[in-house]
Structure 1
Amino acid sequence: MSRLYAAHTLLNAGVAIAALIAPLSIAPAFAQDAPAAEEAQIDEPASGDIVVTARRREENLINVPIAMSVVSGDSLVKSGAADITALQDRTPNLTLQIARGSNSTLIAFSRGVGQQDPLWGFEPGVALYIDDVYVARPQGAVLDIFDVERVEVLRGPQGTLYGRNTIGGAVKYVTRKLGNEFHASARASYGSYNQLDLVGQVTLPISDTFSVGAAIARYKRDGYGKNLTTGAEQYDKDVIAARVSAEFTPTENMFFRVAGDRILDRSNPRHGTRLLPNGTDPIYAPTASVYDTRAGIGDRNRVKTQGVSATGEIGLTDALTFKTISAWREGHTDTLIDFDNTALPTLDVPAEYDDRQFTQELQLLYQGDRIQGVAGLYYLDGRASGAFDTVVGLFNLTTLTSGTVRTKSYAAFGDMSFDLTDQFKISVGARYTKDDKTGTVFRRNYTGIRSPYFGNAAAVPGLLRTDYTNSRSFEKFTPRVSVSYAPRADLNFYASYGQGFKSGGFDMRGDAIFTPTTVNGYEPETIDSWEIGMKGAFLDRTLFVNLAGFMSKYKNQQVTIQVPALPSGIASFVDNAGKADIYGFEIETRMVPSRHFSAGLVVGYTHADYKEFLTFIGGGTTPVDVANQRVFQNTPKWTANVSATWSEDVAGGTLALTPAVSLRSDLSMFEIPTPALDQDGYVLVEASLNWTSGDGRYRIGVAGRNLTDTRYRVGGYNFPGATTGNSVIGYYGPPRTVTGTVEVKF
C-alpha cells in the first residue's frame, strides 16, 4: 500500500468516525449523578471522569488529546492478573511479555514499536515509569500488582513530555498516595501449582501533616513444568517485593514524598523447550510438555532491583506550581540460558547484568483560566554493564563478551495548552534532548568450557575479537502539536502530530572481526506520527467511547540480528533497518446500562510495512534492501478484548461475575519469518467471581485465567543447524490457572 493511499485511508476513517459520532454529540447534557457510570469508571479504561497525568498534570481522561488506556489496580487484582503483562489483554495494539529465558525482564511493543533485546546498552522503545520516575532498564520491570492505584498506557510517541525512548509509548505505574487517615489491608491467594500470594499494606498518620506507609508482597508458586535433567521446577515463581514511603503536607500548597522499593526474584531461569530435533539423537528431542526442559546449565537465577525517589511540590501562586523529582535506582541480575536445552553444553550462556541510574527532573506547572502547561529540565546519569559466555561445547570453545555503556542525558521541554474558545483548544510542545554515551566492548575466544570470568580459571585465552572504547553524542528536537474541539461537555475530538526518537548507541555483542564498523556504534531511530481521535460519554453517561486512528513514518529502526558464526559461537550486529510505514486504529468502549450490568469492547488494528530494510547478506560489504523479506516482530495485526460484568446484591454485599475473552492474531517473533517459532492467532478466556461486602472491607474472589488451556508462544530463539544443536526453542505463556483470594481492609 502506498503512503498516499495509507494517508487517504486514515483520513476517510476519521471522516467516518466523525459521521458516526455526530448524531450523539447533540444529545442532552449528561446526568452527572448517574450512579452506574460513576461505579464503572473506577475500574474500567474507557470511563468518564478518570483523572490522569499523561501530560504531567492532572486532567480528565476525556480532555487529554492522547490515545491512552487506564486500568485500575483493583480491577487487575480482581481479575487474577499476576503482573503488568496482563495489560496486553485489555489494551489495543500492545504487547507486554516476560523476556525469553527470564522471569522478570519486560519486553514491550506498542503500535509495532519496541525493543525485544534486553541486553545492557540497548534502550527500550516503550518506556516504563514508576510514578514519575523513568526506569531505564527492563530487568526487574515485570511489576507485580500491589500498592498500585492505576496503570496508564500511553500509545504513540511521547517525545515531548517523556523524551527519549518513548518512541512507541509509555506505561505509567501509579502508586497510591498515603493520605492522612489510617488504613490497612491484607490479601491472601492460593491457586493452581501451589500458588501462594501474600500482600499487606498499611498507612500510619503520625500527625495531621505527616504519614508513613509500607507494603510488602510475597509470591510463591511451583513451576508449570520440570527440568528433566536437574529435577528443578520450570516456570516457577519466587519473589519478594516491598515498598515504603513517607508523605509530608505542611500546608495545602506544599507536598513532599519520599518512597523506596525493592524487588528480589529468585525464581529458576526459564530454559524454554526445544521445538525441533537434531537428527535422530534422542537427547535433542522435544519434550512432551512445552513447559518441560532438559537444560543442564543449572538453575540459579537471581534478580535484585531497588530504588528511592523524592518528590516535592510547592505552590508558588494560585496558578504556578514548582515540582522536583529526584530518583536513584540500581539492579543486578545473575542468570543462565541453555540454548540447546540438553544436559550437554552444546550452546550455553551464563550471564550477569548490572545497572544503576540517577535522574533529576524539575517542572514548572501553570494552571490558568485559558492557559495550562508545564515546562521543565531533565537529567539522567546511567551506567549499564554486564558479561556473558557463549559456550560451544562441540568445539570446546567459549567466547566471553563484556562491556559497559555510560549515558548522560540532558533535556529541556515544555507543553502548553491554550483555550482559544470554550470549544477549541490547541496544545503545542517541544523537547530538546542530548545524550552523551561512552561504550566499552570486550570480546575474546577461550579454549575450554566457560571463560575465567565465569569460573574456569584453566581456560586458555585465544583470539581477541573486540576491544574498544568509543564515545558519541546524539541530540534531537521533538515537537508535538494537537488541536481539540469539544462541542459539548464529555465529548472531545482531537488531531495531533508528534515526533519521537530512541537514542543511538553501541552494540554490546559487536564482533569487530566479522563487522569492523561495530566500533562506530549505531544511529538513533525516529518516528513521525499523526493521530486523530474522539473521546466521549453518551446516553446519560451509560456509554463511553474512545476512538483513535494513527499513521507513523518510522526511520532507522534499530534491529538486532544474531546468527551462528562458528567456531566463534554467535555473531551479532545492529542494523538501522531503514524505513517503514505503520497505520491502524483503536476502539475502546464501555457500556453501563445499569448498576447490575456493564460490558466493554477493545479492538486494535496495526498494519506495519517495511519500505526499506538495509542489511548485509552472506558476509558482503554492500548493504542489500530486503524489505520484501522482513516483517515486524511482536506486532499482531489484530488485538481484541470483550468483557462483561453481572452483579447482584447478595448477603449484605455485591457478587460480581466477569468473564472476558481476548484475541491476538498471527505474529512473528523476529523480523525474519520463522514458521517453527512464529505464533498463530489465539484466543484466551478468563473469568472472575468476586463478593465484596457492603462497606468494602471484605472480599472473597476466585479467578480463572486461560480457561481453555491454550498453548501459545511468547518468545523464542532461532539458531538452527547441527553444529548449534539445531537450537530452535520457544517460551510459552501460562497454562490454565485458578486462584482463590480473601482480602480484608481495615
Structure 2
Amino acid sequence: MIARFLLLASVASASFAVPSAFAQDAAPEQADPAVQPQNPRGDVIVVTARRRQETAQEVPLAISVIRGDSIEATGNFNIVKLQQLAPTLQVYTSNPRNTSVNIRGLGVPFGLTSDGFEQGVGIYVDDVYNSRVAAATFDFLDVAQVEVLRGPQGSLYGKNTTAGAINITTNQPTFDFEGRAELTVGNLNYKQAKAAISGPLSDTIAARIAIASTTRRGTIYNVTSQRWINEQDNLGIRGQLLFKPNEDLSITLAGDYSKQDPEGYGTVFVRVGRTQRALNRQYDALVAAANAAGRAYQVPSRNPYDRLTDLDSNLNAGNKIGGASLKAVWDLGAGTLTSVTAWRFWDWKPENDRDFTGLSIVSRSQNPSQQDQYSQELRYNYTSDRIDFVLGAFGFKQRIDTQGTESQGIDASRWSLTGAQAANASILDGLTASNTQYLKSTSAALFGQVSWKVTDALTIQPGARLNYDKKSGFYERIVTNGQGQVISCTPVPAAGSVLAAQCGVYQPQSTSPSVSKWNFSYDFNVNYKIAPDILAYATYAKSFKTVGINQNGLPLNSVTNLPDLSASTVKPESVNHYEIGIKTQFWDRRATFNLTAFRTDIKDFQATVNGGQFGTVRGYLANADKVRSQGIEADFKIAPSERFSAYANGAYTDAKYKKFTNAPCPPELSGGTLQAVGATPDYSQPGVAGALSPRQCDISGQALPGVSKWAFSYGAEVNTPVTLLAKEGQIYLGVDGNYRSHFQSNASPSIYTRINGYALTNVRAGFRGEGFDVFGWVRNAFDVNYMELLQVAPGNVGLIAGQPGDPQTWFGTIKFSF
C-alpha cells in the first residue's frame, strides 16, 4: 500500500489535466466575499459540503467539485457521465431504473434494482434528497456546481449515506436581469438546446426559469424492429421564485419536470460461455435445435462492436421525474435556520427484452412503477470564533407502487424444459406472471456536528445521528397459463407433469414483509492546519445502512422449491470507516495537491445476488458477511497563468468481499444438477457440461463488482487572446480523458463478465469572449471500443449480453449570455 501510495502521488504530481473541468478554478457568483482568501491569485472554490459556505481546501474531507459550465464543456450532461471526471465515482446503468451510483465501490448493490433497500450515496439537488438513483437520472439543468463527497455523511445530511453524497446546486434567481442560451448539434443526429433567464419581478421577488431538450439517435441498430435503440429523447424544465423581504430572510419556491421517452434499453450479443448445464441445453445447441425444428435463427453479429441486435420484444424506457420544494433561510444573527420542504415523484413505464435474444423466450417483461416521496428537513447552523455547529432534524415518507407482467413465448419450452416437453411449445407459451406490489417507507432522524477550534490550528469535530426507519411491503404474483387459467403450485405437482414444468418457471406467491429499526451512528474528525495552506485531517465514522426488504418476490428454496421466507428481510449494514488526508496549496496558490487514504469495513453488506431463474425473481437482496474497501486518492491541479491550466486525479481502490461463503455461483459453476445438500462445494469443474453444480459458492477475497482498481481523469487547456471578426476574446484548445482498469460486471465474479480496462480521450477547441462561446468537441476521439456493462442471460445457457460504450461522437456548440 505504501508503494502504491507513493506511485500515485508521483503520477499526480507529474501529470497535467484541465482544471476547467473542476470548480477549483473559480467561486460561484453567489459566494460570500467573507470566505475569499487575501491572495488575489489564490484558487477559490466555495462549497456547502458542511452546510455552510467555505472554501473546499478548508473542508477536512475528500471532495471533488465540478462547475456546471465545465460539465457542459466536457460534454457530460447527467450523473451517468460524471464518473469520467471523478475517478472514485462508479455509475453503471442498463436503464434508468437499474442504475448504480457508487463511491469507492460502495453504495448501491450492483445489478437488478429492488425498491426495498436504501442507497449508500445520497443525491441532493438544492438540499432536496432524491430517494432513488432512477429518480435522479435527469439531464443537468441550469446547474451551478456539483460536489462529490466521499465517505459517510450521516451527521450533516438529511438522509443517512454510508458511501458519500452528490450535492448538486442549481443557479438561483437573481435581482439583476440575466440570461443564457445554448445550442449544440452533432453526429448521430444529436441536438441539444438550453436556455435560462433570471431577473426581478419586484423589489423583493425574483424569478428564474430554465429549459433543456436533448435528442440523439441510438447507438445500436435493431434488425428486428429496423430502428436504432438506446436513443436519447429528454426534456426538462425548472422554475424558481425567490422572495427576499430583507437581508435576513429568503424563501425559494422551486418546481421541476423532466421527461425521457427513448426507444431503449437493449443489449447486443457479446459471447457464449460454457456452463455446467448439459451440453445439448446450452446456447448454441438450443439455437441449433430450434432451427432443426423449423426456425432459421441466427444472431445478426457475434462482434458486439458491430452494434447490431435482434431483440423481438417492445423496448421502452418512459421516465417522468419532477417535484416541488420550498426552502426558507433565516439569518438569526449568530446562526442560520434553514427549512427544506419537498415533494418528488417518479413515474417509470418500461418494456424490456429479458432473454436478450431475437427468440421469443420471454415475450414480455415490464414493471411500471409510480413513486411519491415527501421530505422535511430543519437545520440550524451556528458560527462563532471557537465553536461552529450544525443541528438538524429530518423526516421522510415514500410510497412506490409497481405492476409487473412477464410472459413466456413460443421458444420458452425448448429453452427451459427437457425431453419431450422441450418440443411442446404450448406448455410455456403464454405462461404469464402478473405481479402487484407496493412499498411504504418512513424515516426520521436527528443529526448534528460540532467543530471546536481548540487553537487557531487544531480543530476537533465530532458528529452523531439517531435514526429510525420502517419499511413495509406487499408482493403478490398470480400465474396464468396460455389459456388464461390461474394455476396453483400447492400441493407440489407431480414430477414430470405440465403443471410441474410451469411451476418450475413461475410460482405464485404472496408476501407482506415488514421491518423497523433504530440506529445510532457517529463520526469524529481531527484536523490540523500545519501551515496557512496545508491542512491535515483524520476521520473515524461508525455508520450504517438501514434494514432492507426483498420487494420483488422471494427466491425459491433449493430443496423444497417453495419461496424462501427467510429471505424476506435483509440485515442492516454496519460500517466502520477510517480516513486520513492532507490538502495543500503552493506556488502562490497556483497549484493544489490533495491526498487521501481510506479504509471502510462493512459487516452484513447488502448485495444483489442472481438466482439464475427465468422468472421475475432473478435478482434479490442478501447479506454478505464482510466487505472491505480501501485505497488512496490524489488530486493535482496547476494554473501557472491565465493562459494554461491542468489537472490530474487518480484513485487506487481495493474493494473486495472479505467473507461471503454462501454467494450465488457464477455462470461457469451453474446450470448442472445440484450437488447433494450439505456436501462440500466442488469448484473444480467450471464450464464442464454435465458436472454437478454447487448450491452456493464461497467468493471470499474476490473483488466487488463494478470497481476498477486504478482510475484516472486528466486534462489541460491552453488559450491565447485574439481579435476575430471584430470580437475580442480567446482561442482555446482543451483535452480531457479518463482511464479505468478492468472490473467485474456480475455480483459473483465470473471469467465471462470481466470488462477490460479502457482509456477515453476528448478534445475541444473554440473561441470565447464576453457573453459568447463557440466551440467544437469530439468525445472518444480515438473511437475506442469498450463495454459499459455485461449481463448474464437467465437460464444458465451461457449467453452473455452487453452494452457497448458510445463510439466517437462530435459536436458543435454556440453559447450566448447576457
Q: TM-score, normalised by structure 2?
A: 0.81
- 2:745 is aligned to 669
Superposition map of 1:262-273 within 5 A: 262-273=257-268
Aligned partner letter, 1:586: E
Superposition map of 1:442-591 within 5 A: 442-448=476-482, 465-511=508-554, 513-514=556-557, 515-518=563-566, 520-565=568-613, 568=615, 570-591=617-638
Q: Give the superposition deviation at 1:726.
A: 4.7
Aligned with residue 90 of structure 1, among 85, 91, 99: 85
Aligned with residue 113 of structure 1, among 106, 111, 120: 106
- 2:16 is aligned to none
- 1:357 is aligned to 373
- Alpha carbons 2:141, 2:237 under 8 Å: kept: no
Superposition map of 1:175-574 within 5 A: 175-276=170-271, 278-279=283-284, 281=288, 283=297, 285=299, 287=301, 288=303, 290=305, 291-316=307-332, 318-347=333-362, 348-393=364-409, 394=412, 395-396=428-429, 397-448=431-482, 465-511=508-554, 513-514=556-557, 515-518=563-566, 520-565=568-613, 568=615, 570-574=617-621
Superposition map of 1:100-139 within 5 A: 100=94, 102=95, 106-115=99-108, 116=110, 117-139=112-134
Residues in 2 aligned to 1:451 and 1:62: alpha-carbon distance in whole angstroms: 66
Q: Give the superposition deviation at 1:630.
A: 3.9
- Alpha carbons 2:784, 2:808 under 8 Å: kept: yes
Deviations 1:622-664 (A, max 9, x none): 7967133742011100000121111111221012211122100
Evaluate the alpha carbon distance shift between residue 284 and residue 730 of structure 1 in structure 2; reply closer, same or farther with a 3 A threshold. farther
Residues in 1 aligned to 2:709 and 2:219: alpha-carbon distance in whole angstroms: 29
1:642 aligns with 2:657: no
1:691 aligns with 2:705: no
- 1:26 is aligned to none
- 2:33 is aligned to none
1:719 aligns with 2:734: no
Evaluate the alpha carbon distance shift between residue 350 and residue 620 of structure 1 in structure 2; reply closer, same or farther with a 3 A threshold. farther
- 1:709 is aligned to 783
- 1:155 is aligned to 150
Deviations 1:190-213 (A, max 9, x none): 011010101110112112321011
Q: Identify which range, 613-622 or 432-441, moves more after superposition.
A: 613-622
Aligned with residue 25 of structure 2, among 40, 45, 51: 40
Residues in 2 aligned to 1:120 and 1:274: alpha-carbon distance in whole angstroms: 29
Q: Give the superposition deviation at 1:83.
A: 2.1
Residues in 2 aligned to 1:59 and 1:569: alpha-carbon distance in whole angstroms: 49
- 1:456 is aligned to none
Aligned residue-pair number = 705
SS at match of 2:119: coil
1:610 aligns with 2:662: no
- Alpha carbons 2:471, 2:514 under 8 Å: kept: yes
Residues in 1 aligned to 2:738 and 2:805: alpha-carbon distance in whole angstroms: 14
Residues in 2 aligned to 1:299 and 1:39: alpha-carbon distance in whole angstroms: 42
Aligned partner letter, 1:704: V
Evaluate the alpha carbon distance shift between residue 146 and residue 451 of structure 1 in structure 2; reply closer, same or farther with a 3 A threshold. farther
Q: TM-score, normalised by structure 1?
A: 0.89
Q: Give the superposition deviation at 1:446.
A: 2.5
Evaluate the alpha carbon distance shift between residue 241 and residue 17 of structure 1 in structure 2; reply closer, same or farther with a 3 A threshold. closer
Evaluate the alpha carbon distance shift between residue 48 and residue 401 of structure 1 in structure 2; reply closer, same or farther with a 3 A threshold. farther
Q: Give the superposition deviation at 1:570.
A: 4.8
Evaluate the alpha carbon distance shift between residue 298 and residue 17 of structure 1 in structure 2; reply closer, same or farther with a 3 A threshold. closer
Aligned partner letter, 1:49: V
SS at match of 2:706: coil
Consecutive unaligned residues in structure 2, runs of 5 or more: 14-21, 29-41, 273-282, 289-295, 413-427, 487-498, 558-562, 665-673, 679-694
- Alpha carbons 1:284, 1:341 under 8 Å: kept: no
Aligned partner letter, 1:718: V
Evaluate the alpha carbon distance shift between residue 574 and residue 85 of structure 1 in structure 2; reply closer, same or farther with a 3 A threshold. closer
Aligned with residue 654 of structure 1, among 709, 730, 747: 730
- Alpha carbons 1:214, 1:245 under 8 Å: kept: yes
Deviations 1:687-745 (A, max 9, x none): 1113211x2x1110111111111222222321365xx7654210122111111000111
Q: Give the superposition deviation at 1:496.
A: 0.7
Residues in 2 aligned to 1:504 and 1:619: alpha-carbon distance in whole angstroms: 32
SS at match of 2:403: strand
CA RMSD after TM alignment: 2.9
Residues in 2 aligned to 1:480 and 1:648: alpha-carbon distance in whole angstroms: 48
SS at match of 1:551: strand
- 2:648 is aligned to 601
- 2:38 is aligned to none
Q: Identify which range, 263-272 or 705-714, moves more after superposition.
A: 705-714
Q: Give the superposition deviation at 1:615.
A: 2.0
Evaluate the alpha carbon distance shift between residue 179 and residue 345 of structure 1 in structure 2; reply closer, same or farther with a 3 A threshold. same
Give the structure with the higher percent strand: 1
Aligned partner letter, 1:341: F
Evaluate the alpha carbon distance shift between residue 370 and residue 165 of structure 1 in structure 2; reply closer, same or farther with a 3 A threshold. closer
- Alpha carbons 1:246, 1:259 under 8 Å: kept: yes
- Alpha carbons 1:389, 1:451 under 8 Å: kept: no
Deviations 1:293-331 (A, max 9, x none): 211111333110111010001112x21111100000011
Q: Give the superposition deviation at 1:571.
A: 4.2
Evaluate the alpha carbon distance shift between residue 468 and residue 529 of structure 1 in structure 2; reply closer, same or farther with a 3 A threshold. same
Aligned partner letter, 2:104: R
- Alpha carbons 2:159, 2:394 under 8 Å: kept: no
Q: Percent identity among equivalent residues?
A: 28
Evaluate the alpha carbon distance shift between residue 140 and residue 205 of structure 1 in structure 2; reply closer, same or farther with a 3 A threshold. same
Aligned partner letter, 1:332: D
Q: Give the superposition deviation at 1:675.
A: 3.0
Aligned partner letter, 1:708: F
Residues in 1 aligned to 2:757 and 2:507: alpha-carbon distance in whole angstroms: 45
Aligned partner letter, 1:326: T
| Structure number, greater radius of gyration | 2
Residues in 2 aligned to 1:192 and 1:577: alpha-carbon distance in whole angstroms: 45
Consecutive unaligned residues in structure 1, runs of 5 or more: 1-5, 22-36, 453-459
Q: Identify which range, 574-583 or 255-264, moves more after superposition.
A: 574-583
Q: Give the superposition deviation at 1:141.
A: 1.8
Deviations 1:555-582 (A, max 9, x none): 111112122336x565444220111222
